[in-house]
Amino acid sequence: MIGQKTKKIFSELLKKQAKKALSDKIDLLNIVVEFPLPEFGDYSLNLALKFWQDFGFKNPHEFAVKIKEDLDQNKQLMKVISKIQVEEPGFINFWLKPEYLLDVVKEINKAGSRFGRTREMSQKIMVEYAHPNTHKEMHIGHMRTLITGEALSRIFETAGAKVFRANYQGDIGPHVAKSIWGTIQLLKERSQTWEQWEAESSFKKAHLLGEGYVRGNQDYESHKEEIDDLNADLYQNNPKVMPIYFRTRKWCLDYYDNFYKRFGTHFDRLFFESEVAEEGKKLVLANLGKIFEKSDGAIIFDGTKYGLHKRVFVTAEGYPTYEGKEMYLAQKQRQTFKFDKNVHVVANEQAEYFKVVFKAIELLDPWFKNRERHLSMGMVNLVNQKISSRRGIVITVDGLLDEVKTMARQLTSSSKELGSETEDIIEKITLAAVKYSVLKAHPTLNVEFDLKRSVDMDGSSGPYIQYVFARCKSVLEKAKGSAMVGRVLSDEELVVARWLTKFPEIILRSAEQMAPNLICSYLFELCQKFNNFYQKNRIIGSKEESSRLALTKAVAQVIENGLWLLGIEAPSRM
């Protein structure tokens, strides 16, 4: 990765020039490698702007000129750099040699699916994502964490980390009691039994429990005692209610498994609230008077002592809250996978919750300090629609996929060449439309999902990226000649080749910033650059056919590798 290598060369150069007292200030993290506009080179660095005062120069430009003079003498760097130029107020811009760009194209075609992989991120990372509570249908908020968590896992792995995929699900508590109670009422009104529903699909059974949850919420105030008693029975494993509980819990887990398979994800471990509830309560009680304290009959953590807020960890009725359960969950996850970092991919509405929980976990065991991280996810809504599972306004994942698939089907309706592959390709287009729409925005930002834009073949969409890949594959299949790089590229080809060189660095940035949207933006721009080349240059039958085929092959490979990072499959035909 040229940018990363250059950062290290610059860092070493500065340390040689620096006084001993200043050497600690030269930190790679403070050296920013930017991708400037094409007229300003392939890379631009902020070294002079960052350190000119530390080294006693009058201004950044003067320091930048001095750095350039030293870099011009650096044989290792000049093997790949054709020009270094200083721009006001002190940027250092440099251009890659065309010969190096040709070598990168060759490297991509040789490395194949391995191109972009590095060992830069040598950490053990647990990614905890999805988190659908049982006894409810999966809505599009859970879908976003599912898609983002899997993409992050792939990006971390490609950047060199060892990843452990975890899923923490709420399978005990008031929401379960409400769902079961409400479903019982529905079955009575419909003169149906639990056994009659066993033969139904997992989606229909999950929908029934979703209806039950809405009913339980609607009737909670008028049947509070019944539902609260059921909740107590579930916590106490009352044999009268546990058969129904286990039956409905299995229904939900089967339902979720179908989604995990469809979305191309898997989990190394499923954690459940039911397995950490009692032990979490014990941990809180064991630290009463030390970390936790009593308040109005409940046990709380007084976060105000740490600039946070108070939260209940065990209720006055003696039930552990989500917060209380987290105390043992952290221990359980550490026992399972001794991570360097645990990334919780959870909605931003839980941001304050996690601040308090992480502080309490850290006080229980200092080992956890700075190891727990909340990726504060923005919300997802369909354009002009709102979601509320309690009020029954739910946009389910399967419902959304059905709508997108209807639109994806229209994209392939005129193609007679797909044959038996048609349905498989439509499914891939559908998932690409949904995943890309979710991932192209930074994880912390809200997403307004637009059905039409998700399948837009002229804009930044998953199907558009897939289409460019299919175009590349079509060219390669039709060509009879070999794909060999053997000449200096034209201007349009150089633009594409220059962008290809940045792929490994984009992956590392995406991993460091936990931002899959960087991959989306990179792929969209790559496709635009390739299409511009494709429209202006003949490939098959031209004098430059072999070299242009090599470039096309490299573009196809990088698109495929990039889509894989996003959890998107790349069909060869569309």
Which of 167, 157, 107 shows the shortest CA–CA distance to 132? 167
Residue 280 in tokens: 């979490």
How deeply is 231 buried, as exposed, middle or buried, from its count of CB atoms within 10 A (0-12, 13-18, 19+)?
buried
Say how far apart CA 366 and CA 150 lie, in whole Å: 29
Is residue 390 one of the residues assigned to a domain? Answer: no
- Say yes or no: 329 and 427 in one domain: no
Q: Are 146 and 108 in contact (CB under 8 A)?
A: no
Q: What angle do CA 131, 133, 136 make, to 5 degrees?
A: 135
CB-facing half-sphere around the CA of 90: CA atoms within 13 A: 18
Task: Give the domain-ending residue among 36, 63, 96.
Answer: 96
Question: Which domain CATH number covers 79?
Answer: 3.30.1360.70
Partnered with residue 94 across adjacent β-strands are: 43, 84
- Say yes or no: 330 and 424 in one domain: no
pLDDT at 260: 95
Is residue 414 one of the residues assigned to a domain? Answer: no
What is the tally of structural domains in the chain? 3
In the chain, % of residues over pLDDT 70: 90
Task: Give the domain-ending residue among 70, 96, 122.
Answer: 96
pLDDT at 20: 44
Q: Given CA atoms 425, 427, 431, 433 in this order, what sign does their dihedral have?
A: positive
- Write the DSSP assignment of 345-378 as a string of letters: EEEGGGHHHHHHHHHHHHHH-GGGTTTEEEEEEP
pLDDT at 128: 98
Q: Are 329 and 276 in contact (CB under 8 A)?
A: yes
Is residue 310 one of the residues assigned to a domain? Answer: yes
Say how far apart CA 65 and CA 63 lie, in whole Å: 5
Say how far apart CA 162 and CA 343 lie, in whole Å: 13
Residue 507 has pLDDT above 50, yes or no: yes
Residue 23 has pLDDT above 70, yes or no: no
Q: Are 136 and 390 in contact (CB under 8 A)?
A: no
- Say yes or no: 439 and 532 in one domain: yes
What does the pLDDT average to over 7-26? 51
Say whether 332 sits in a helix, a strand or coil: helix
The contacts of residue 142 (CB under 8 Å, 6+ apart) are: 130, 131, 132, 397
Q: What is the pTM of this model?
A: 0.91
pLDDT at 45: 84
Say how far apart CA 98 and CA 104 lie, in whole Å: 10
- Say yes or no: 560 and 424 in one domain: yes
* Cβ burial 537-562 (10 Å sphere, 16+ → b, else e): eebeeeebbbbbbbbbbbbbbbbbbb
Residue 71 has pLDDT above 90, yes or no: no
What does the pLDDT average to over 10-23? 49
- Say yes or no: 424 and 540 in one domain: yes
Q: Can you say how many angstroms the Cα of residue 539 is from the centroid of all Cα atoms in its chain?
A: 36
- Say yes or no: 332 and 440 in one domain: no
Task: Give the domain-ending residue among 55, 74, 96.
Answer: 96
**pLDDT tens per residue, range 271-314:** 999 999 999 999 999 999 999 999 999 999 999 999 999 999 99
Say how far apart CA 432 and CA 568 lie, in whole Å: 6
Which of 277, 281, 300, 313 shows the shortest CA–CA distance to 169? 277
Say how far apart CA 469 and CA 407 lie, in whole Å: 20
Kindly list the distances between the CA atom of residue 92 and the CA atoms of 10, 60, 72, 303, in Å, as whole numbers in the listed order. Answer: 11, 10, 12, 47
Q: Of residues 29 and 396, which shows the higher confidence score?
A: 396
Q: Are 573 and 417 in contact (CB under 8 A)?
A: yes
- Say yes or no: 426 and 318 in one domain: no
pLDDT at 521: 97
Residue 376 has pLDDT above 80, yes or no: yes
**pLDDT tens per residue, range 188-221:** 999 999 999 999 999 999 999 999 999 999 999 9
Token pair 């060189």 in the structure block, residue: 501
Q: Of residues 386 and 33, which shows the higher confidence score?
A: 33
Say how far apart CA 242 and CA 517 lie, in whole Å: 44
pLDDT at 136: 85
pLDDT at 53: 87
Is residue 272 one of the residues assigned to a domain? Answer: no
What does the pLDDT average to over 470-485? 86
Residue 115 has pLDDT above 60, yes or no: yes
Taking each helix axis from N to C end, the angle separating 545-565 and 503-513, rounded to the nearest 10 degrees, works out to 10
Q: Of residues 142 and 234, which shows the higher confidence score?
A: 234
Is residue 514 one of the residues assigned to a domain? Answer: yes
Partnered with residue 324 across adjacent β-strands are: none
In the chain, % of residues over pLDDT 90: 71
Which of 193, 200, 181 shows the shortest CA–CA distance to 251? 200
Residue 491 in tokens: 């201007």
Is residue 405 one of the residues assigned to a domain? Answer: no
Q: Are 183 and 211 in contact (CB under 8 A)?
A: yes
- Say yes or no: 297 and 424 in one domain: no
What does the pLDDT average to over 92-105? 90
Least confident of 137-141, 207-211, 376-380, 510-514: 137-141
What does the pLDDT average to over 327-351? 97
- Say yes or no: 448 and 542 in one domain: yes
Which of 492, 517, 384, 535 shows the shortest CA–CA distance to 440? 517
pLDDT at 4: 60
**pLDDT tens per residue, range 151-181:** 999 999 999 999 999 999 999 999 999 999 9
What does the pLDDT average to over 334-351? 97
- Say yes or no: 326 and 440 in one domain: no
Is residue 487 one of the residues assigned to a domain? Answer: yes
Q: Can you say how many angstroms the Cα of residue 239 is from the centroid of all Cα atoms in its chain?
A: 41
Work out the mean pLDDT of the chain and round it to a whole number.
90
Is residue 368 one of the residues assigned to a domain? Answer: no
Residue 335 in tokens: 């026992």
pLDDT at 12: 57
Residue 176 in tokens: 């379960």
**pLDDT tens per residue, range 391-426:** 445 567 888 899 999 989 887 766 666 667 889 999
Of the ranges 383-387, 491-495, 515-519, the best mean pLDDT one: 515-519
What does the pLDDT average to over 429-440? 96
**pLDDT tens per residue, range 118-152:** 998 999 999 999 999 999 888 888 899 999 999 99
Token pair 């931002």 in the structure block, residue: 515
pLDDT at 22: 46
pLDDT band for 25, please (50, 70, 90 cuts): low
- What's the domain range around 59? 2-96
Kindly compute the dihedral angle of the four CA atoms of residues 524, 160, 155, 35, in this order, to the nearest 10 degrees: -30
Question: Which domain CATH number covers 485?
Answer: 1.10.730.10
